[in-house]
């Protein structure tokens, strides 16, 4: 099965999050760029969906973003 790559703009529309949030999560290492071309970054739609679901679930339980990052980075 082929992986579908999506741009930050598509992520923003699909998941109703701001472009700044996508950049912030990328800088924190939560979202991983799969491919770069020219001035565009592309992400795996599966990885983005899974990550954002985990982040939202943990935020709804009261976890801080710092703790979420620490936990998700550890695997």
If one counts the domains in the chain, the total is: 1
CA nearest neighbour of 50 among 28, 24, 64, 32: 32
Question: With a cut of 50, which residues of the chain have pLDDT below it?
Answer: 1
CATH number at residue 33: 1.10.1660.10
Residue pair 15/52 in contact by the 8 Å Cβ criterion: yes
CA nearest neighbour of 59 among 44, 72, 74, 48: 72
Q: In sequence order, what are the beta bridge partners of 6?
A: 43
pLDDT confidence of residue 75: 66
CB neighbour list of residue 32: distance below 8 Å, 6 or more residues apart: 26, 43, 44, 47
pLDDT confidence of residue 39: 80
Could you list the residue range(s) of the whole structural domain that residue 18 is in? 5-74
pLDDT confidence of residue 1: 45
């Amino acid at each position: 099965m082929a992986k579908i790559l999506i741009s930050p703009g598509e992520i923003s529309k699909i998941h109703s999050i701001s472009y700044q949030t996508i950049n912030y999560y990328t800088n924190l290492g939560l979202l991983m760029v799969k491919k770069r071309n020219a001035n565009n970054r592309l992400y795996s739609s599966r990885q983005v969906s899974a990550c954002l679901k985990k982040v939202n679930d943990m935020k709804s339980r009261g976890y801080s973003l710092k703790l979420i990052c620490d936990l998700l980075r550890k695997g």
